[in-house]
Amino acid sequence: MKVEAEYLKEQVATDELVRELVRDDARRGEYMIMMDDADEERCVQIACDYEDVGGKNDGCFDLEYQDGANGNLYHCKTRVSADEVERIFLDELAGRIEWRSSFDWEKENVGGGSIPSITGVPPFVKFLFYVVAAIAIAILAVLLSIWLFAAVKDALRPGAKWDQWVPVGLGVAVAYAFFVSPVIQLVKRRKSRVRQGDAGNAERRGIQP
């Protein structure tokens, strides 16, 4: 297992390091995550989000866990004390997951999207799904690029009216919504898992309110 925090680069997780990070705010920073060596998406994580408790340090944390790249992301419905966090991380490090049954959880859409999970689907079906989806996205991207290029060309013609820029604006909005925004979300999810907005840090690893 590996551990990472706002002020700590990724390191091998040990009992001593976990205890130190949980108890030392200055050493840890505003988030902490422990990840599986083989699958970083199999993780447990905390964030010190005080916005929901009047902006003051109440000594508790937001808590989430995820069961791998194909697993669901679960957000704890209640804030968790430092003692509980220490026990949770040490249990997870030891391979014990019974702690999960001690809390109430809310299932979140990973990355904030609404794409239905295909967990449990046979691998070849998943592969086919991804291939078809990739081809469809590539075709849409090409068609949108051609249409956007033609719209810009028309708008730049001498004597063109201002309203000819409307299709250009629509094309840019569609491109952002369907291509740019998902890529940005994917990058943010990869770089960090504590939620945006926690003390203004925009590159956290997605703990939801």
Residues 137 and 96 in one domain: no
Residues 17 and 89 in one domain: yes
Q: Classify residue 204: in a domain, yes or no.
A: no
CA 146 to chain centre: 32
User: Is residue 88 pLDDT above 80, yes or no?
Assistant: yes
Our count of domains for the chain comes to: 2
Q: Classify residue 71: in a domain, yes or no.
A: yes
pLDDT of 117: 41
Q: Classify residue 65: in a domain, yes or no.
A: yes
Cα–Cα distance for residue pair 50/28, rounded to 1 Å = 16
Residues 85 and 152 in one domain: no
Q: 93-131 burial, b for 16+ CB within 10 Å, e for fewer?
A: beeeeebbeeeebeebebeeeeeeeeeeeeeeeeeeeee
Q: Classify residue 117: in a domain, yes or no.
A: no
What does pLDDT average to over the chain?
Answer: 76
Residues 43 and 93 in one domain: yes
pLDDT band at 83 (very low <50, low <70, confident <90, very high): very high
pLDDT, tens digit, 9 for 90 and up, residues 42-51:
899 998 866 6
Domain range enclosing 56: 2-108
Q: Is the pTM of this model over 0.95?
A: no
pLDDT, tens digit, 9 for 90 and up, residues 147-193:
778 877 777 878 777 677 777 777 777 777 776 666 666 555 544 44
Q: Classify residue 197: in a domain, yes or no.
A: no
User: Is residue 36 pLDDT above 80, yes or no?
Assistant: yes
